[in-house]
Structure 1
Amino acid sequence: MTAVADPAPNPHATAEEVKAAYDDPKLANVLYHDWEAGTYDEKWSISYDERCISYATDVFTAVAGAGGQPYSHAMELGSGTGFFLLNLMQGGVAKKGSVTDLSPGMVQVALRNAENLGLDVDGKVADAERIPYDDNTFDLVVGHAVLHHIPDVAQAFGEVLRVLKPGGRFVFAGEPTKIGDRYARRLGRLTWYLTTNLTKLPVLGAWRRPQSELDESSRAAALEAVVDIHTFDPSELEKTARGAGAQDVRAVTEEFSAALAGWPIRTFEAAVPQEKLTVRWRLFAYHLWLRLSALDKKVLSKVLPRELFYNVMITGTKRSS
């Protein structure tokens, strides 16, 4: 396991640092993701068991197919805690891995997760617009919910193609569409407003988080609004990847009804004390998401324009030499 010798994470950004980050999206990304690193898996119900292994491999296969597996060496761009790559490796998609992220805190957590799982993974703190690896290094580059954080997406695609071996593939998933982001954020804001105000009532006081925690969540949300730079039209994202030199480019979208339910549920969970979220509640939320995702995939994807769905996934390959 390769240790990370880059700057230490900063999990307690001050109000002054947050203010400065409004003019510097990369600083905002480091502050926000360092802040979130220690609790990120819990916040997004991330695990490294069959549930998330199946999710990751299903998403990968939905856009890229099953050919070429296992890839010898895969790199995750903007890895966060390693959710996508580590679960793909456990699912047999790749043998060896490298995690990269602009946040030192996230790289540390991803390497710790990989070590706990017994996976062959190294890591670097890395800027997606200047990936610190040699040309033709990887057979596969993946990312989950990362492109929308990168200021210059076209340059990042160029870097991805540079570090891929000829014929290598990239797969990015979990990116917000323009229309999907619009309705998701509105639902989230409405849910936050209703929950935080209704729990002021004495009869619902036990459901209210301490004000200090709500203030901290609001400060994190303010940074989140800065780090979420882009939303995507699927066709325009395909055009950007082709413009960087990718071939065999294909975008697929997912989650419509699942997003309409999922965003209010996630926001509600962030606004109430965690001890109120029982196992029964979490199972309800998870199984509802499964049912609605199946509805989206089997029915709604066949009748609705792909632009209406919340997530876009994209794949492509580097031209063979």
Structure 2
Amino acid sequence: MKDRVIQAYNQLADDYEFNVDQRSIYNTEYERPEMVKQMPSNLNNLSVLDAGCAAGWYTSQLIREGATVTAIDISPKMVEATKRRVKDKANVLCLSLEEELPFEDNSFDLIISSLVLHYINDWELTFKEFQRILKPGGQFIFSVHHPTMDIRLAKEGDYFSHEFIIDQWKRDGKIIEVPFYRRPMQAILNETLKYFKLERLIEPQPTEEFKKIDPKGYHKLMTTPHFLIINARN
């Protein structure tokens, strides 16, 4: 599975660097505004881990707000894109979230993980490591696919299953197979609560700018959420 995710996101790296980060309204006008809203109002001098940094959009924003940032991603091509974006202003590493992380205990004030965890089958080690490296009282914010979105791709239509799915994304006339895992809401919450205290659960809504650009898509998101955001504490 890990190799398939690396392959998919190596293929998607250019699209993320030059298109998704600027033009995808599902990112710019849907997921990101609410994720940013959940972050501390003052990030100055906070130590932050961007866990699954992709092409580095969040990394660059965190740096701009004065944070000391470590950014990690499983895809070498995404790591290269992030390095191009932030130069030497962050520590950018190619690492897997399914393995022990090379950071000291209590290293970070904040961990953010944007639309990454649904690529991981078992969150046990990942969350255990996040708990270890996050300072007491530190904040953990992550977004994933909403279970009501993923059910449309479920082979058996079983909402309560933990299921491996291969989605197909069309990019530049090519079909890229993107594998991920779907979970019911109770699994997402219970696995989070095993290691963290839940502060807030958010089913984001699109911005008014989204509505201007894509009224049909706006109505769809206002009636059927695509993403889920969890704000938790260590």
TM-score over 0.5 (shorter chain): yes
- Aligned counterparts of 1:54 and 1:313: Cα–Cα separation in 2: 11
Q: Which structure has the highest helix share of the two?
A: 1
Give the match for residue 145 of structure 2: 176
Give the match for residue 84 of structure 1: 58
1:272-315: CA deviation from partner (whole Å, max 9, x where unpaired): xxxxxxxxxxxx9783258965x799xx5xxx6xxx41110011
User: By how many angstroms is 1:69 displaced?
Assistant: 3.5
- Aligned counterparts of 1:159 and 1:290: Cα–Cα separation in 2: 41
Do structure 1's residue 288 and structure 2's residue 204 form an aligned pair? no
Q: Secondary structure at 1:87's aligned position in 2?
A: helix
Map 1:31-180 onto structure 2 (within 5 A). Answer: 31-46=7-22, 52=28, 56=32, 58-62=33-37, 64=38, 66=40, 69-70=43-44, 72-90=46-64, 92=65, 94-115=66-87, 120-130=89-99, 131-173=101-143, 175-180=144-149
Q: Secondary structure at 2:70's aligned position in 1?
A: strand
Structure 2 gaps, min length 5? 155-166
- Aligned counterparts of 1:87 and 1:122: Cα–Cα separation in 2: 14
Q: Secondary structure at 1:84's aligned position in 2?
A: helix
User: By how many angstroms is 1:68 displaced?
Assistant: 5.6
Contact map agreement 2:29 2:207 (CA 8 A) in 1: no
Q: How many residues align?
A: 217
Structure 1 gaps, min length 5? 1-24, 193-208, 259-283
User: By how many angstroms is 1:151 displaced?
Assistant: 1.9
Alpha-carbon distance change, 34 to 67 in structure 1, aligned in 2, over 3 angstroms: same
Contact map agreement 2:44 2:67 (CA 8 A) in 1: yes
Q: Secondary structure at 2:203's aligned position in 1?
A: strand
Indicate the structure (1 or 2) with the bigger Cα radius of gyration: 1
Superposition RMSD on alpha carbons, in Å? Answer: 3.6
User: By how many angstroms is 1:26 displaced?
Assistant: 0.1
Do structure 1's residue 242 and structure 2's residue 193 form an aligned pair? yes
Q: Secondary structure at 1:120's aligned position in 2?
A: coil
Give the match for residue 261 of structure 1: none
Give the match for residue 203 of structure 2: 253
Q: Secondary structure at 2:6's aligned position in 1?
A: helix
Alpha-carbon distance change, 249 to 159 in structure 1, aligned in 2, over 3 angstroms: farther
Contact map agreement 1:139 1:165 (CA 8 A) in 2: yes
Contact map agreement 1:71 1:140 (CA 8 A) in 2: no
- Aligned counterparts of 1:65 and 1:296: Cα–Cα separation in 2: 27
Give the match for residue 309 of structure 1: 225
Alpha-carbon distance change, 134 to 104 in structure 1, aligned in 2, over 3 angstroms: same
- Aligned counterparts of 2:215 and 2:61: Cα–Cα separation in 1: 18
- Aligned counterparts of 1:290 and 1:121: Cα–Cα separation in 2: 38
Give the match for residue 30 of structure 1: 6
- Aligned counterparts of 2:10 and 2:112: Cα–Cα separation in 1: 21
Identity in percent: 18
User: By how many angstroms is 1:86 displaced?
Assistant: 1.9
- Aligned counterparts of 1:61 and 1:123: Cα–Cα separation in 2: 21
- Aligned counterparts of 1:252 and 1:37: Cα–Cα separation in 2: 28
Contact map agreement 2:112 2:142 (CA 8 A) in 1: yes
Q: Which structure has the highest strand share of the two?
A: 2
Alpha-carbon distance change, 66 to 125 in structure 1, aligned in 2, over 3 angstroms: closer
- Aligned counterparts of 2:151 and 2:205: Cα–Cα separation in 1: 14
